[in-house]
Structure 1
Amino acid sequence: MNTRRRFHAALVAVFVAALAPALLGPAGTAATEPRLDRMLATEQSLTRKIERAERRLGREQKKLAREASDLERRCAGQSIDRERRTRCADLSDRLEQNRERLDRDAEKLARHQERLVKLSAKIARQYKRTERQREKLSKRLARAEARVSKAEQQIATIQAFIDSQADSEATRRAKKVEEYQARLAKSERMHQRWTEKRDEYRAALEALGDG
């Protein structure tokens, strides 16, 4: 009896080792998916960066408008002297440089805004992908839990029969016990398989988070 049990245990170990790569497949796939929390953090950081840039650009544009108005007021007319014309030319050059700098800032801001739009779309797709994955894993987990429960019931029933026949010496009953021992080994293998699957699906769901 002990030899038979050790043989069955060895079969289960070999079966589980062969099954491990298949069980680890979904978790490995999930690990390669971009993490939603990192993308959300990037989106928040980029949003704050854009808001600061928009406020700064708005202030600089107002300042530039005031400088342009001041330049027009101070340098208008033909009666200004040479020194004043020189100062006005310098002011005009500086105003143009500031205008070009603000144009570059506006272009940079537009690129950030475009990046934010693309990132938000990517996050929306990832949400949908994660929800589909969560639903699929939940169904697999429910199926695995049902199989584990069924295997446990079968093991208990078969083991109870084997125990009830343990003291019998009759040939017919001995063959029946041997047949049930084979069924028990099969149920134990199935129990081990679906227990592993159940635990793997639970871990994958936990890795996805609460959503």
Structure 2
Amino acid sequence: MHTSASTTPLSPAAVAVERVPHSLQEDLVALFTGCFVIAFGVMLLQQSQAVTGGTAGLAFLLHYALGVKFGVAFFLLNLPFYYLAWRRMGRAMVFKTFCCVALLSVCTDLHPRFVSIAQISPFYAALLGNMLMGLGFIVLFRHKASLGGLNLLALYLQDRHGIRAGHVQMAIDLLIILASTALVPWPSIVASVGGAIVLNLLIAMNHRPNRYLA
């Protein structure tokens, strides 16, 4: 007598999930892509005098207030956070993060040499720029890298305490944007708040513990 095999689907807990680490080539391509996309988003914000949160937001404040180049300010602001990365996130992530910070600093000065935007709405620039930055951050996070600074703090809180990185980043971002009200026109501030919300919602929805296992 023939007995058919059971077709009852296995529960997720019964299925063994094997983690397949990224290769070196995959990491290199992903880190370059993420930084390149984020740098283009930064350029859109600069073109419209919009701001964002995180360490990039602090770099924007220095850029608008003192005329310091964004790339230089961003690189210097990240230096104190490497200690946290070294102690808590591992040497590999410190190295990847350092490379990403340096690459972004270069790319932010590179894009304007090839792209010139004569006119752009602050609201459109803030929306598109932050969407691009959010997508770039997700790429970096999934390859165990970041852009240092406050991103490292957000990732640390998620890994150690289960607090979503996007929620932590959103609270910090809003505080930084409020601090920029003395330097940036109000229409750009309103656009920047909306853009920061979009950016961090993208991260909160797409970068959760145990959702991406590579």
TM-score, normalising length: structure 2: 0.26
User: Which structure has the greater CA radius of gyration?
Assistant: 1
TM-score, normalising length: structure 1: 0.27
